[in-house]
Structure 1
Amino acid sequence: MPRPDVGGPGLLHALATLDHRDVDARELMDDPAADPAELERTFHRFGLVNRIVSRPAAVYEEWVRPRLGTTHRARLLDVGVGGGDLPYRILQLAARDGLRLEIVAIDPDERAVAAASRFATSGFRTRVATTADLVAEGETFDVVWSNHVLHHLGAAELGALLADTERLVAPGGIGVHGDIERSRGAYLGFWAATLPFAWNVLAGSFIRPDGLTSIRRSHTAPELARAIPRGWRVKRGFPSRLELVWGSEIPDE
């Protein structure tokens, strides 16, 4: 039986090298030749991990709900839809509260959009597109949000995403890009928490090895603070979360 972290460094080596971003590490699911069955399992099991790691209810309460109402239909752009479970959960929470929300979820990878399309319903639309495409179309949104996208980006790509976000946020809206914060604690915590499930619930998916790779590729708060343009700020969250925030109505910490 293969090791559950196959393709990555050993635990001790990884922990010893986390002082710097491993920009050369590549996630298995990003490979165009990734096994379709394993990729599908990965998309479908994102929800199990994201409920804990990405905390969609917290995102909804802090960033989305304050901009919703019962008459005006607010618009949320989800950049990098992944498996679609997070934006769909936010849509469910808005419906629970009787608030009107429309979500457009985009990803340049048509495999991700195909997986997320299983959630397609009134108020939830998926597209193979980039933020640059939507800027060119003149789109605007009350909330522009992404989850676990930043660690995929180089410096130029990060700058382009943030510039596009500023153009896509409607007056009074907000842009929030959430990601992991790289640390030994985050790496060891994910390694240990997923180990009991590596040969059962997470078997046949990329979630465990790619999650560890994501942490190695992710930023620290000081690194992001040095990389972002004026008007943006870095906010720390739990567990081992970072959020880049931009907008005219930013809640106090």
Structure 2
Amino acid sequence: MAVPRLRFDPLLRRRSVDEPELMDDPACDPVALAATYRLFAVVNPLVAAWRPVYRSRLRPVLRAAAATGRTATVLDIGSGGGDVARALARWANRDGIAVTVTASDPDPRAHAWAAAHDGGAGLTYRGAASAELVAAGERFDVVVSNHVLHHLSAGELIALLTDTTALAAGVVVHNDLRRSRTAWLLYWVGTLPVARARTFLRFDGLLSIRRSYRADELAALVPAGWQVRPQRSFRLLTVRHGDGAGAR
């Protein structure tokens, strides 16, 4: 599969903001797109480091919600292939927490693929954007996103943070890449086995790193009440605690 050449700034001093990712093209190769969604379940556990985030930031909120005698609720917004949402449901179930997990993505291709590959996880799949969920009066104990923020313009990012503030009773965690030359080089090497495969994983992943923020850049954008927390493995968490009023 032929892909464009990356225009590479060796030091990654500035975000790449004018190069779209291949999978964001509505007319992209559907076979390559499906392969990319499938490979997310392999790559995300290696690079996104959700397990420690679940243990330290999500599990306490879910346990507190379940302790009230109701089922705790999780929303994964921009959920792509649904692999992160399914992992969160699996971990909560192993911990004995009654939970309902909703995976929502406004891209009909992602929504359809994720719903068709639930694998018995029992998630709820929604083809909705965050603004639609806010308008519908939805409310969740935990709201998360994975690798969404770097796709957005500054205005879109603020809109998403505003929406997820309204949607979360407990905590919001946006987990994204942290731009780093080392991360780019490691991913370049690590994805050599799929360099010729019919997937967008390599090209879009390398571009995603170049499009992602550094901590100071993101901290300068987020509204009051949000915290930007650098993590190991070249990650940034953008976190806000809710009002505790409870999910509906």
TM-score normalised by the chain length of structure 1 = 0.89
CA contact (8 A) 1:120 1:126 kept: no
- 1:37 paired residue number: 31
1:241 pairs with one of 235, 238, 244: 235
Which sections of structure 1, spanning at least 5 residues, go unmatched? none
Listed as ranges, the matches of 1:176-215 within 5 Å are 176-199=173-196, 203-215=197-209
Counterpart residue number, 1:220: 214
Using the TM superposition, give the Cα deviation of residue 8 of structure 1 relative to its aligned residue in structure 2, in angstroms: 3.3
CA shift, 1:189, in A, is: 1.2
Q: Please give the per-residue CA displacement for 1:31-76, whole angstroms capped at 9, x wherever unaligned.
A: 0001111111111111110010112322221222112235431111
Deviation at 1:248, TM superposition (A): 5.0
The structure 2 residue matched to 1:109, chosen from 107, 112, 116, is: 107
> Is the 1:25–1:216 contact (alpha carbons within 8 Å) kept by the matching residues of 2?
no
Q: What is the aligned partner in structure 2 of residue 19 from structure 1?
A: 13
Following the alignment from structure 1 to structure 2, what is the Cα–Cα distance between the partners of residues 182 and 160?
A: 22
Q: Which amino acid aligns with 2:200?
A: F
Q: CA deviation at 1:192?
A: 1.3
Indicate which of 90, 93, 98 corresponds to 1:100: 98
Counterpart-to-counterpart distance in 2, 1:82 and 1:60: 19
- Alignment counterpart, residue 28 of structure 1, candidates 2, 13, 22: 22
Runs of 4+ in 1 over 3 A off after TM superposition: 120-123
The one-letter code sitting in structure 1 at the alignment partner of 2:164 is: T
Alignment of 1:61-76 (within 5 A): 61-69=55-63, 71-76=69-74
Secondary structure class of the residue paired with 1:119:
coil
Partner of 1:126: 125
- Paired residues of 1:181 and 1:241 also in contact (CA < 8 A): yes
Q: How large is the Cα RMSD of the aligned pairs?
A: 1.7
Q: Which AA in structure 1 matches 2:10?
A: L
1:175 matched to 2:169? The reply is: no
Structure 1 Cα separation of the partners of residues 185 and 130 of structure 2: 34
1:236 is paired with a residue whose SS is strand
Looking at structure 2, the residues matched to 28 and 49 of structure 1 have their Cα atoms a distance apart, in angstroms, of: 18
Give, in whole Å, the separation in 2 of the partners of 1:174 and 1:103. Answer: 14
Shift of 1:95: 1.1
Q: CA deviation at 1:120?
A: 6.7
Q: State the shift of 1:168 in Å.
A: 0.8
How many correspondences in the alignment? 238
In the other structure, the counterpart of 1:154 is: 153
Q: Percent identity?
A: 47
- Distance in 2 (alpha carbons) for counterparts of 1:103 and 1:49: 21
5+ residue gaps, structure 2 = 244-248
**1:25 Cα shift?**
1.1
Deviation (angstroms), 1:116: 0.8
